[in-house]
Chain A
Amino acid sequence: MDEALVRSLTPGVLTILVRRGADFAAAEDAVQDALVEAFRVWPAAPPRDPKGWLVTVAWRKFLDQARADSARRRREDLVEDEPTPGPAPGVDDTLQLYFLCAHPSLTPSSAVALTLRAVGGLTTRQIARAYLVPEATMAQRISRAKRTVSGVRFDRPGDVATVLRVLYLVFNEGYSGDVDLAAEAIRLTRQLAAAIDHPEVAGLLALMLLHHARRASRTAPDGSLVPLAEQDRGRWDTRMIAEGIGILQSALARDRLGEFQAQAAVAALHADAPTAGETDWVQIVEWYDELARLTDSPVVRLNRAVALGEADGPRAGLAALAALDDSLPRYAAVAAYLHERDGDPDTAARLYAEAARTAPNLAERDYLTRQAARLNAARRR
């Protein structure tokens, strides 16, 4: 049984229940129950019409629950009095679900959890494992999220930018537990790109594909981090890179540049270089200029300083760095790298050790400690 295929039916089934008059929270629970049952019985008895099967079972679960809640009167009122909302013109059901699950009234962690469950069809247990929290905690987070959006009209379009931020958060969580969140984020973004024609959705999809294509080369067998310049480019997924570049090019042709397209353009320039030495740093600096114009983010300026250090030499990079706040995350790591390239291993070693102390994760900390150790060991010889 193809689990991803089954899960891809989730948004369609859920919106059918909502259209029949079920409220979102109850419908979502019913779909989740139906999915769990599908995973239990389908391997032995696969249905001829999987979506029809899910709709039937989910609707039955919904009715059972409505009765059990002694909410019978309410249900009858719902079904009899309220007209079933008709399709909103030009707005896809699946798209509405994305908007609802990424609603601005939700906190980022709630929006992520709700999206993975209601759009992605993951079980609460899978989501909990992926985020390393107890299942009961995740169940609470999801039910609170559903209460938060319970009053939101289902037929109003939302802001695509909020949806993209949620999907990007999922992508960056990477891989832990039995669910590959990066792959799941790509699947959900692909599904979104099919539902809405928007250059930034395409830009995010391209960015994800271009990053994901390098994943196998990003860590050594012992789990340590391999920086871009030292990655084995033969292990990059060229098919995925080609797809990402194709999607990006048609998005850029629309001439509505946004932050994800610009980030994808940087990723594409890296992916395009046969060797690290052949990277087109001049163009990368230009894209960072665009990004700085679009976002005015200090993190972008930090990345730009690295690119400038490659394009115009470490002195130029250090000069750009001097204009930035030294409390920025990864500032010390960038400074260390540029000082080493500038021929000052003592300063670089000190800065690498400092960067390791403030590293945001273990893999980076170990990498930075190793860099400091490498320079210190060379100096002792």
Chain B
Amino acid sequence: MKAASHTARILISAVLTLLGLLLATFLIARVVPIDPALAILGDRASASSYEQTRKELGLDRPLYVQFGRYVASVARGDFGRSALTKNPVAQDIGRFFPATIELATGATLIGALLGVPAGLYAAARRGKVTDHVMRALGLFGYSVPVFWLGMMALVLFYADLGWVAGPGRIDTALEDFVPHVTGFIMIDAALSGDGEAFRSALSHLVLPALVLGYFSFAYISRMTRSFMLQELGQEYIVAARAKGLGERRVLWVHAFRNVRLPLITVIALAYAGLLEGSVLTETVFSWPGIGQYITNSLLSIDMNAVLGGTLVIGVMFIAVNLIADLLYRVLDPRAR
């Protein structure tokens, strides 16, 4: 009963946050000095067609009615039409967002798979050389601008050494041969059985994922180290050692079990951060993701696209946090 009410509270909180997000995007659209009717018609339109368009867009109705219609259309997946691409925004997002998810997922996997053991190892060897090396690596990753690191990585590994493919998601020559099924180019290439396209997509993903992954690694390893040090100072760890438990078991079974929970939040936030914040990396690597789509739309004053993209990123952020909250309840007996 307690668990059900807590889960209900989490879900209600997520729904309220979503409503807040809808309100924020709606108000942004109303306060920017761009007239949607003029944006469609141009400033040479007649007064009657201007009024007619305003009516068609529902701009003559009270604000709360407009908000209701906005919520209803968003619920149907209708974000309007992009002035830049002339496509429905939902269709554009369906084309661009998988690229961002692909990149963010690759980067988060790299960051978590390397960052968690690195942080754990650094904490277990606190004050030793390995700890200092891990901390220095983390500090560098945290401090250096991602776009600069991306450019340096491109110069070294693509231009000089030729180890990986360059900008873009796949070689241009192969682009038209991969059928659009899921939108995730590696999955689509694998589904079509085209090994060359798959290898090309993987080779294009490696470098931007490593650059963003290094940023995630820095954050996740620092947080893991900090959580582990806090946990290793607890008396139940001393008690475990007093029982004769081996150090590996103390670290992995006892301390790490308790560190998993805050780490879920850290990794979820890192992932959500990459979904919204990899604009610079996408620009450096010509990665056709949502960040680049929103940036281009913003520069073209394409508000439907900007708000649609912002809304989708916000929803992803809420969803990732919701999953982290629900996982917390599954893994922590004190929260049940």
A and B associate in one complex: no
Which residues of A approach B to under 8 Å, CB–CB?
none
Which residues of B approach A to under 8 Å, CB–CB?
none
